[in-house]
Structure 1
């Protein structure tokens, strides 16, 4: 899977997964707010829907095409483990399609990161039973997001809370996008260790 890396002298890294139609630079504005000195590894979705990039095939009748999805997660994990990475703190950040992809990744490899930030995800029914080394998870959405059903995201928070001790859900007034209010809420969560 193609990726872009920005190396610094920091022992912290952000690993980024854009939303449908995004690119490797889509979430840089957020990492700059959280820690502008951190290393960045940004993965580019390898599935095309028209001109839009995604991490896995589009849903059919609201459901993930599980064989394709698992193959994409395995491809990512193979690529990830071939990288020479040595960071004390790794935070995975995904938006929409990227956030859903992260859920499949941590189901298979919960030792991959220390913290997870899921921006506007869906509850796709992943069965994550092992907390691995993940210390905390943040889930965000906008109250007016037409793609994220409130009951669905609350169910995701409840499901993750059965495995992880520190799961927080933040709902702002926004829509399907990360606005200034949401960035501030994420930064407050991130800084409050």
Structure 2
């Protein structure tokens, strides 16, 4: 484990010029939750998996909330800025990708909405962005895969669809993959993520 800019993180080195893949865990996870999965999905990438620095009754997160689906927007802005600075400090010579699940998808999306120049491609698994983002020309050409469950009680289908539509409207290459379950990660979903990352 390493610590930099206030974040504890786990890292796997890649060859020179390899893409850097930032991996963000869900609520209650840590830097280990998706690390091995990321190595399987992107074996040639450099992997950086930060640990969320907010505790919600002992469960690690990347920003505070006041209720289910109700974000502390001031804290989100603060943590987004910190995460963006951390990511910029860690990037190498290759392209920069992001993969996040649930709360991790939300902080990744928030970084993209605040500083679209950092990440060139992102996988957002079961995100929830419960507001209407402003138009952002800097997202043009970015590649985004959103995966979700049609019966997800934490990330409603209509909100997920709205986020995918938003990215497409900004000129991003947005793809949306549905499975028929809820907030869990389905095997078919992982297949879609693998194809997306391989095509990059």
TM-score, structure 1 normalization: 0.90
Which has the higher mean CA deviation after the structures are superposed, 127-136 or 166-175? 127-136
Structure 2 runs not aligned, ≥5 long: 1-6
Change (3 A) 1:61 1:135: closer
Contact 1:100 1:122 in 2 (8 A): yes
Which has the higher mean CA deviation after the structures are superposed, 38-47 or 119-128? 119-128
Match of 1:24 in 2: 31
1:1-193 equivalence runs, <5 A: 1-9=7-15, 11-60=18-67, 62-83=69-90, 85-125=91-131, 126-127=133-134, 129-132=136-139, 135-193=142-200
Which has the higher mean CA deviation after the structures are superposed, 99-108 or 56-65? 56-65
Change (3 A) 1:59 1:170: farther
Deviation, 1:34, is: 2.1
Structure 1 runs not aligned, ≥5 long: none
Contact 1:18 1:27 in 2 (8 A): yes
* Whole-angstrom distance in 1 between the partners of 2:95 and 2:117: 12
Deviation, 1:173, is: 2.3
Deviation, 1:61, is: 7.0
What secondary structure, in the 3-state scheme, does the structure 1 residue paired with 2:39 have?
A: helix
Aligned residue pair count: 192
Deviation, 1:119, is: 0.3
* Whole-angstrom distance in 2 between the partners of 1:50 and 1:129: 35
Deviation, 1:186, is: 1.5
Contact 2:99 2:122 in 1 (8 A): yes
Change (3 A) 1:132 1:159: closer
TM-score, structure 2 normalization: 0.87
CA shift digits 1:48-78 (9 cap, x unpaired): 0112100000244743211111111112223
Deviation, 1:134, is: 5.4
Which has the higher mean CA deviation after the structures are superposed, 160-169 or 125-134? 125-134
